[in-house]
């Protein structure tokens, strides 16, 4: 990346989003962290410089998405990089799936990325440079049981990404979706512990026999691996890469 860029990352209080925020900050970006919760690592960034900002955001609300972009532009002048990372999981059979949860999942994981893209795209076009990265999942490509809301939202992100790529391409704006399998985050660690209790086996057995059963490598993905992909897609060397799905799954979908 040439010149300091401003990166807006949603769901960046912890997990993948936090690693992306730290990585882009270390690369010299101004970093805006949008989340319901304040990140505990913010002070370590803000104490060094004024390049890091936390903006409390409820991405299920249109007005919150709009206010978020306006705040970033007010503070730093533009949004050069948008990483739509915020999301959550809900597991339930389709016929029992809560309609309220369904609506919120689509609002946070599909409508919010659309709105944020809509609001940042004019500025990126004007600057003739922009990077939009949507955090998908292997569930952007394949399905599994009892995750209809998550799978629908993640599949939708692929379509949004491709549409954005076509419209942004002539203006130097790229759009890509990253599709990881299980990443070692606090949320996934909680899921492993819960499954261990439910199945009556150890956390290690859940990890190897349940979570990594379809993985060719047999290893959990680390957040730094995903952040490294974001860093590359934000680089000038990736200017011709757009509208693509970047799968990081240890060979899960190769079968």
Structural domain contains residue 1: no
Can you give the pLDDT at residue 187? 82
Structural domain contains residue 233: yes
Can you give the pLDDT at residue 47? 64
Structural domain contains residue 250: yes
Structural domain contains residue 243: yes
Specify whether 103 is located in the same domain as 195.
no
SS3 state of residue 38:
coil
Q: How far apart are CA 190 and CA 196, in angstroms?
A: 10
Structural domain contains residue 30: yes
- Given a contact cutoff of 8 angstroms between Cβ atoms, the answer to whether 187 and 144 are in contact is no
Closest alpha carbon to 120 in 227, 232, 7, 27? 7
The total domain count for the chain is: 2
Residue found by looking up tokens 């490509």 in the block: 141
Can you give the pLDDT at residue 150? 95
Specify whether 152 is located in the same domain as 162.
yes
φ/ψ of 13, rounded to 5, equals -75, -25
Listed as ranges, residues in the chain with pLDDT below 50 are none
Instruction: Give yes or no: 182 in active site.
Output: no
Specify whether 87 is located in the same domain as 188.
no
Specify whether 171 is located in the same domain as 193.
no
Specify whether 131 is located in the same domain as 142.
yes
Specify whether 178 is located in the same domain as 189.
no
Specify whether 211 is located in the same domain as 244.
no
- What burial class does residue 126 get, using C-beta atoms within 10 Å of its C-beta: 0-12 exposed, 13-18 middle, 19+ buried? exposed
- Catalytic, out of 41, 54, 119, 150: 150
Q: How far apart are CA 160 and CA 145, in angstroms?
A: 24
Specify whether 49 is located in the same domain as 139.
yes
Specify whether 129 is located in the same domain as 246.
yes
φ/ψ of 10, rounded to 5, equals -90, 155
User: How confident is the model over 135-173, as pLDDT tens digits?
Assistant: 999 999 999 889 999 999 999 999 999 999 999 999 999
Specify whether 135 is located in the same domain as 215.
no
CATH of the domain at 157: 3.40.50.720
Q: Which helix (H) or strand (E) holds 115?
A: helix 112-127
Query: Following DSSP, what letter does each residue of 182-212 receive, concatenated?
Result: -B--HHHHHHHHHHHHHHTS-HHHHIIIIIT
SS3 state of residue 130:
strand
Q: How far apart are CA 51 and CA 82, in angstroms?
A: 16
How many other β-carbons are positioned within 10 Å of the β-carbon of residue 26?
12
- Residue 202 belongs to what domain range? 184-220
């Amino acid at each position: 990346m040439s010149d300091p860029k401003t990166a807006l990352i949603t769901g960046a209080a912890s997990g993948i989003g936090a690693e992306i925020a730290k990585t882009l900050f270390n690369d010299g970006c101004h970093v805006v962290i949008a989340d319901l919760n304040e990140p505990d690592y913010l002070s370590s960034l803000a104490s060094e410089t004024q390049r890091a900002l936390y903006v409390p955001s409820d991405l299920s609300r249109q007005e919150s998405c709009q206010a978020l972009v306006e705040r970033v532009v007010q503070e730093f002048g533009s949004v050069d990089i948008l990483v739509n990372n915020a999301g959550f999981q809900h597991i339930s059979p389709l016929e029992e799936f809560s309609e309220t949860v369904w609506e919120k999942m689509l609002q946070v994981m599909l409508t919010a990325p659309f709105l944020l893209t809509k609001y940042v795209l004019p500025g990126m076009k004007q600057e003739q440079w922009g990077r939009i990265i949507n955090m998908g999942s292997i569930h952007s490509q394949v399905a599994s049981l009892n995750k209809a809301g998550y799978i629908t939202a993640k599949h939708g992100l692929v379509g949004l990404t491709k549409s954005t790529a076509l419209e942004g391409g002539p203006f130097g704006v790229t759009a890509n979706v990253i599709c990881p399998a299980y990443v070692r985050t606090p949320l996934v660690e909680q899921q492993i512990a819960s499954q261990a209790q439910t199945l009556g086996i150890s956390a290690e057995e859940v990890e190897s026999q349940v979570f990594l059963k379809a993985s060719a490598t047999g290893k959990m993905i680390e957040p730094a691996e995903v952040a490294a992909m974001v860093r590359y897609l934000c680089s000038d060397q990736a200017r011709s890469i757009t509208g693509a799905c970047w799968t990081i799954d240890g060979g899960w979908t190769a079968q």
